Amino acid sequence: MIAEYWPVLLFIVLAAGLGLVLLAVGMLAGPRRPEAEKFAPYECGFEAFEDARARFDVRYYLLAILFIIFDLEIAFLFPWAVVFKQIGIVALIEMALFLLLLVVGFAYVWKKGALEWE
């Protein structure tokens, strides 16, 4: 049984080895010309005008988490759609309940104003 995993292990070892070799070659053969501009903070093409440790609004994180949750929930629809004909009517009812819960959750979040950005 372990013999079946040898190609995967070999691939991982070769990929890690190649990555280390390329990093070492880059460090040894690359130019070393440190300048003040290279050490200056850079932010989207502009000079940094605020402290890098500025606090973000909590709504930013809430919106990001909500996006991840609803995005992952929608991703569950694809495998279901692929095997829909084989799994029958029971799976259709289960998916309808799943989507109903998703819509109720989305309506709750919308009603609470978590999607408003001001």
Closest CA to 17 of 28, 25, 6: 25
Facing residues of 42 across strands? 47
Residue type, 21: V
Per-residue pLDDT 10s for the chain (118 aa) are 778 899 999 999 999 999 999 999 999 998 888 787 777 766 666 566 666 676 767 778 888 888 888 888 888 888 888 888 888 888 889 889 988 998 998 899 889 888 887 7
Q: What is the pLDDT of residue 3?
A: 84
Residues 6+ apart with CB under 8 A from 78: none
What residue segments make up the domains of the chain, in order of their start? Answer: 2-112
Closest CA to 114 of 51, 69, 77: 69
Q: Give the long-range contacts of residues 61-67, CB within 8 A, separation 24 or more.
A: 62/114, 63/114, 63/115, 63/117, 66/109, 66/114, 66/115
Task: Indicate the CATH number for domain 2-112.
Answer: 1.20.58.1610
Q: What is the pLDDT of residue 18?
A: 98
Helix (H, G, I), strand (E, B) or coil at 51: coil
Q: What is the pLDDT of residue 6?
A: 92
Does the pTM of the predicted model rise above 0.85? no
